[in-house]
Amino acid sequence: MKAHPRKPRGQQTDLGDYPPEKIAFHMRTPAWCRTQAEKVGPARVELVGGLLAENALYRLRAAQGVVGLADRHDPARLETVRGKATAVGDLYGPVGVGKTHIAQALGHQAVPAGADVRFTTLRALADLAGGHADGTWTRRLAELARPALLVDDFAMRELTATQTDDLYELVRERSGKSVLLTSNRSPVDWYPLFPNPAVAESLLDRLVNAAHQVVMNGQSYRPHKRPRNPVVPPASKTTS
């Protein structure tokens, strides 16, 4: 047991009593993130600065994730990621490490530069498939082929033959245009999810072999969002 100094109101916890991962989180403040980004280069400064421009504490973990890439990659390579990851990129790793945050951050940064960005999941294939029934498939394909496309949770489950064909046509139509994928699976594990090996080979050759792949490792941050002191409602009183 440890006694903490008394405060006029509220609680006071000694930072040294926290587990190492939580101490690291508190030490990596927005100012720390900006300083670390300056060590990488101007593109990283721009990305981290954009993340922390509004609601800095809400986006702090995403900024920490961007800065943390410098522990595993060469600074010169990181500078190219800022400019090229939204051109063609695969961002993959276990659940809860911040892939979606970083993908959205890259999308937000592309918009002021004049890019038309659409954030979606493979549910977009359901919308595209609806065009087969009402004769609007070509129009729907053109709508998905136009903007920079950020596809979250790619390769979560097996695709049907129709979904595979539609995805192939979409990727082929978007040749040379910006796309970023996030996934919990490594690209080598995507192939079995497609029913037609020939189509899978051609499709993934376009998506994987021309991509900048960024692997994000670490523990999920979602447990840190779990309420620590759940409120138990008082027992109801009964009257006779």
The CATH number of the domain holding residue 185 is 3.40.50.300
178 and 104 both lie in a single domain: yes
19 and 61 both lie in a single domain: yes
Model confidence pLDDT, tens digit, residues 80-108 = 555 544 344 566 666 777 888 888 888 88
Which residue would you say has higher pLDDT here, 84 or 58?
Answer: 58
Residue 213 CA to residue 112 CA, distance in Å, equals 24
Length of the chain: 240
203 and 104 both lie in a single domain: yes
Model confidence pLDDT, tens digit, residues 162-198 = 999 999 999 989 887 888 999 888 887 888 889 988 8
φ, ψ at 90 (rounded to 5°): -125, 125
What single-letter amino acid sits at 225?
Answer: K
198 and 109 both lie in a single domain: yes
33 and 135 both lie in a single domain: no
125 and 204 both lie in a single domain: yes
121 and 196 both lie in a single domain: yes
The residues with which 91 forms a beta bridge, in sequence order, are 182, 214
Q: pTM of the predicted model, to two decimals?
A: 0.55
117 and 189 both lie in a single domain: yes
214 and 123 both lie in a single domain: yes
54 and 134 both lie in a single domain: no
Give the pair of three-digit tokens for residue 3. 């006694």
Q: Which domain holds residue 51?
A: 15-82
